[in-house]
Amino acid sequence: MIDPHVHLRDGSQSAKETLRHGMGVGSKAGVLAFFDMPNTDPPLTTRDRVLARLEAGRQAARVIEAEAGKTVFYGVYGGLTSDPRQIAEMVAAYREAAGGVVGFKMFAGHSTGGMGIVIDAQQQLVYQTLASLGYRGVLAVHCEKESLLRPGLWNPDHPESHCLARPAEAETASISDQIAFARKAGYEGVLHICHISTRRSIELVVQARAQGMRITCGATPHHALLDIASAGRADNLLKMNPPLRTREDREAVFQGLLEGTIDWMESDHAPHTIADKRLGASGIPGFAGLLLLIQHLRTAGVTEERLARLCGKRAREVYGLAAFDALYTLAQGSCQVPSPEQIDSVLAETRAAYAWDPFCALTV
Catalytic positions are 268
Q: Are 92 and 47 in contact (CB under 8 A)?
A: yes
> CA 52, CA 303: separation in Å to the nearest integer?
40
> CA 99, CA 115: separation in Å to the nearest integer?
24
Count other C-beta atoms under 10 Å from residue 96's C-beta: 12
Beta strands in the chain (DSSP E): 2-6, 33-36, 73-79, 101-108, 138-143, 190-193, 215-219, 264-265
DSSP category for residue 261: S
> CA 117, CA 254: separation in Å to the nearest integer?
29
- With b for 16 or more beta-carbon neighbours within 10 A and e for fewer, the 43-54 pattern comes to bbbbbebbbebb
Torsion over CA of 270, 274, 278 and 281, rounded to 10 degrees?
A: -20
> CA 22, CA 60: separation in Å to the nearest integer?
10
Torsion over CA of 340, 344, 350 and 351, rounded to 10 degrees?
A: 110
- Residue 364's nearest CA partner among 221, 258, 260, 184 is 221
Report how far apart, in Å, the C-alpha atoms of 296 and of each of 172, 189, 258, 270, 300 are.
Answer: 26, 33, 10, 22, 6
Q: What is the largest CA-CA distance in the chain?
A: 53
List, in sequence order, every residue forming a beta bridge with 34; answer none if it has no partner: 3, 74
Q: Are 327 and 307 in contact (CB under 8 A)?
A: no
Length of the chain: 364
